[in-house]
Chain A
Amino acid sequence: MAQLRIDIDLCTGCGVCVPSCPLGALSLNDGVAVASEACNDCAACISVCPVEALSIPIEHRLQESKLTDYRDVWVFCEVEEGKIVHVTPELLGKGRELADTLGCRLCTVLLGHEVENLASQLFHYGADCVYLVEDERLSPYRTVPYMEAFVSLVKKYKPEIILIGATICGRDLAGAVATRLETGLTADCTELRIADDGKSLLQTRPAFGGNIMAQILCEKHRPQMATVRPKVMEMPELDASRSGEMVRESLVLGDARILTEVLEYIKDELESVNLVDADIIVSGGRGLGKPENFSVVRELAKVLGGVVGSSRAAVDAGWIPYPHQVGQTGKTVRPKLYIACGISGAIQHLAGMRTSDVIIAINKDPEAPIFKVATYGIVGDVLQVVPKLTERLKRL
C-alpha cells in the first residue's frame, strides 16, 4: 500500500497531478484526485499540486548529513590499460562548471598502480587537485580495493558532489561506494546543474527506456553522487599551462578482504566490440534476410571507420553475437552517426540509440518507426542501397 495521502478537503479536482504520475496511478473521481494501487510513492505529484493537497507522511528519515561539512566537486578518473578513459575529461568539463557555480574546487580521484604520470593531464583538463592512491592491488580494477580507497578519501576530505562515468567500471564502483557511504546515487545522468537553491545538484536522467526524463535531487545527504552517461557532456579544452595540488594517500586494506582475483582479459575480434565508445555505428537487423548478408553492413562500417551493431532480432536469430546488440536489453549508444540497415525500429531498439547525433535509416517499409527518429532515411532494399552507398563512399 502506498503512503500517498490526498486531502480531499483541499483538492480542487484541477487534475494537474494526473499527468505528473510516471505510473499513471492518479485519476479524477467525483471531482477529486484518487491514487490506484499502482502508486509507489515516488512523490512526483507532490510538487505539482497548487493547493498542497498531496503529501507523503515521513515518519522516519535517514540520518541527515551536516551539509556545511562537505565541500568540492570530485570526479573519478577511470583508467584503462594505463590511459585515461574518455569519459573522465568529459566529467572534468562538467565538474569545472559545477565547481565554478558553487565557488569550490574541482578534484580528481586517481587510483591505480604507477599512475602518477596521468595527473598532469587531469590538471590540464581543469582539475585543481588530484587525490592519488597508488597500490599494486589497485591494478587492474577490482571492486573492493577501489571502494575502500574511495570511501576513505571521501570520509577524510568530504566532497559535496561526486561524478563517476556510467561505464561498466564506474557503475560497478559507484553502487558500492554509495552504499558504504549511505548516500544517494543517481544512475546514468545526461544533464547536471546546480539547482536554484544554489547548492543542490539537479540530476536529470532517462527512465523507462528514455521515454521519460526524471529530475532527481539528494538534498539532505552528502556527498551527492551521480554516474554520468559517456559522450553526453562536452569535452573541455585542454590547457597545458594548468597545474594543481597533489594529495597522496595510501590504501589501508587487509588482503583477506579483497574477495576477487582477475585472471585474464579475453579479446575476441568477432565477439568483442566497443559500441559505447564508437563514433560511428552501422547496425543490421532482420531486414538483411540472412546472416551472410551482414557482410554488407560490415563493409559499410569498414569504409566509414565504424563498428557493427545489430538489433535484438538479429542477435536472437543467431546472426551476430550479443555484444553487438543495441537497445533495451543490449547497449545504449550515442555515436555521432548511427546507420540502421534493415531495422524496423521497435521501441526497445530506439531506447538504445535515439540520442545519436545523426541517424540514417535504410528500410524498405516507408512506415517503419525507425524513420520517425531518422535524420535521413532511404526507403529501399537494404541489399541494394547499402552496397551502393559503400561503393559511393569509397570513391570520395
Chain B
Amino acid sequence: MRTIVCIKQVPESASDVTINPEDNTLNREGAEAIINPFDEYAIEEALLLKERHGGDIWVISMGPAQAEKALKQALAMGADEAVLLNDPNFAGSDTLATSYALSRAIARIGDYDLVVCGKQAIDGDTAQVGPGIATRLGLAQLTYVCKVVDLNPEGRAVTVHRMLEGCVEAIRGRLPAVLTVVKDINQPRYPSLLGIRKANKRTIDVWGAADVGADPTRIGLGGSPTWVERVFTPPMRAGGVVFEGEVDEVVEKLVRKMQADGLA
C-alpha cells in the first residue's frame, strides 16, 4: 500500500488577509504559513489507512522553499517520505499547471494505490487540483470524501462516502484512486515530540521541473491559461441597526423590521 498526499502551504487564516481601505495597502497581520487545514485531514487519513494496511506515505507539495516547513510537519505526524516541488519554472502556475506538475511528481514516485488531497485550499478555494490530478493520471476520482468505508488493496477497490449537498453518496472506485477529503473524515493528530525531532533532522528532497520530466510549456505562467487581471476589496456591507434593551421590546422592533423586509 502506497499513499501519496498532496499538501499546500497557506496563510494561517486566509481570510485575515485584507486590503486596508485607507491607504490600499495589504494587511497580513498574523498570517503565518500553515498546512492547508483540509490537507491535514488528508495526511491523517493516510496515516489511519497505513495503520490498517501497512505500506508507506509520501507527502508532496509544490511551492516556495518555505513550504518545507509544512512537509516537515507532515513527516512529524508520521509520513514516511516528503518531496518539495520547487523550481522557478513552476512559478505562476494556475490549477491546470499545478495539477500537471503534481501528477508528474506522482508518476515519478510510482507504485501508488491512493492519492489523497484536501477538498480545496483555503486561500484559493478552487477544489480543482484534485480532479485535475485524477484526470491527468486516469484514476478514479472521489471528491468530498467524508468516510473511507472499505479499502481493499488486494481487490483493487475502495468504497467511500461522499458528502453531497443534502445527502451522502456511497461509491466504490477502482484503485489507484484520488480522494479529496472534507473535515468530517477524522481528527488530525498532533505530531509527537519525537516525531518533530526526527522530522527536523530530515533533509527534504527538492524536485525541479526536469526531475519530474515536466514539459516546460505546460508549467508556470506560460502553462497557465488563466490570468489574474486585477484584485480588489469587495464593497463593505452597510452598517446595520443594533437594538439594545428589554427583551420584549427589542424582539418587537426586530419583528417589525423583518415584516417590513418581507421576511416574516
Residues of A that sit less than 8 Å from B by CB: 1-3, 18-24, 37-38, 40-44, 47, 56, 58-63, 142-144, 147, 167-169, 171-172, 174-176, 178-180, 182-188, 202, 206-221, 259-268, 271-274, 276-277, 304, 321-323, 325, 328-330, 336-337, 347-348, 350-351, 354, 358-360, 366, 371-381, 384-385, 388-389, 392-393, 396
Of B44-52, B71-79, B197-205, B247-255, the one contacting chain A is B247-255
Known: A209-B122, A277-B166, A376-B241. A22 touches B15 (CB 8 A): no
Contact B231 A359 (CB under 8 A): no
Min CB distance, B97 to chain A, in Å? Answer: 8
B95 shortest CB reach to chain A, Å: 7
> How far is A183 from B66 in the complex, measured between Cα atoms in Å?
30
CA distance A3 to B264 in the complex (A): 56
Note all chain A residues with C-beta closer than 8 A to B167.
Answer: 265-267, 272
Given contacts A1-B91, A262-B171, A388-B251, contact A187 B225 (CB under 8 A): no
What chain A residues lie within 8 Å of B141 (beta carbons)? 143-144, 172, 176, 259-260
Whole-angstrom CA separation of A350 from B248 in the bound complex: 28
CB atoms of B228 and A377 under 8 A apart = no
Which residues between 162 and 196 of chain B lie within 8 Å of chain A, taking CB atoms? Answer: 162-174, 177, 182-184
The interface of chain B, by Cβ under 8 A from chain A, is 11, 13-20, 23-26, 28, 37-38, 64-66, 88, 91-92, 94-96, 99, 122-132, 134-136, 139-144, 146, 159, 161-174, 177, 182-184, 216-218, 220-234, 237, 239-244, 247-248, 250-252, 254-255, 257-259, 261, 263-264
Q: Enumerate chain B residues within 8 angstroms of A216, measured Cβ to Cβ.
A: 226-229
Does the CB pair A388–B248 fall under 8 Å? yes
Contact of B144 among A168, A268, A274, A393 (CB under 8 A): A168
The answer to whether A172 touches B128 (Cβ under 8 A) is no
Closest to A386 in B: B251
B232 and A212 contacting across the interface, CB-CB below 8 Å = yes
**Does the CB pair B234–A213 fall under 8 Å?**
yes
CB of B254 within 8 A of CB of A360, answer yes
Q: Using A37-B64, A62-B225, A218-B225 as known contacts, list a sample of 17 further A-B pairs with CB atoms less than 8 Å apart, ordered by residue number in A.
A: A18-B25, A23-B26, A43-B92, A60-B217, A167-B165, A172-B141, A179-B135, A184-B226, A185-B128, A207-B231, A208-B18, A220-B225, A221-B225, A259-B174, A265-B167, A277-B165, A393-B258
State A223–B177 Cα separation when bound (angstroms): 28
Docked pose: A157 CA to B56 CA in angstroms: 45
11 A-B residue pairings within 8 Å (CB atoms) = A19-B25, A61-B223, A175-B135, A184-B96, A217-B227, A259-B174, A277-B165, A328-B14, A348-B15, A372-B237, A392-B255
Of B127, B173, B229, B259, the contact of A202 (CB 8 Å cutoff): B229
Say yes or no: B242 contacts A377, CB within 8 Å: yes
Asked if A185 meets B135 with Cβ closer than 8 Å, knowing A347-B16, A373-B237, the reply is no
Nearest-neighbour CB distance to chain B for A89, whole angstroms, equals: 17
Task: Among B124, B168, B252, point to the contact of A392 (Cβ < 8 A).
Answer: B252
B227-A218 in contact (CB<8A): yes
Is the pair A184, B222 in contact by a Cβ cutoff of 8 Å? no
B222 lies within 8 A of A61 (CB):
yes
Residue of B nearest to A188 (CB): B125
User: Of the candidates A63, A375, A385, which one forms a contact with B251 in the assembled complex, judged by CB atoms under 8 Å apart?
Assistant: A385
A354 to B263 alpha-carbon distance, docked (Å): 18
User: Which residue of the partner chain B has the closest CB to A38?
Assistant: B64
Closest A residue, CB atoms, query B31: A24
Residues of A within 8 A of B182 (CB): 322
Q: In the complex, A147→B247 CA distance in Å?
A: 56
Contact of B127 among A171, A180, A276, A325 (CB under 8 A): A171
Q: Which of B99, B126, B142, B244 touches A379 (beta carbons < 8 Å)?
A: B244
The answer to whether B142 touches A58, judged by C-beta atoms less than 8 angstroms apart, is no
Contact A47 B229 (CB under 8 A): yes
List chain B residues, Cβ under 8 A from A184: 94, 96, 224-226
Contact A187 B264 (CB under 8 A): no
Instruction: Collect the chain A residues with CB atoms within 8 Å of residue B13's CB.
Output: 209, 328, 347-348
Cβ-defined contact, A19 with B24, below 8 A: yes
Residue from B131, B134, B225 with most neighbouring chain A CB atoms (10 Å): B225
Q: Which residue of B lies closest to A312 (CB)?
A: B183
Q: Which residues of B contact A380 (CB under 8 A)?
A: 244, 247, 250
A contact residues around B231 at 8 Å (CB): 20, 22, 44, 207, 212-215
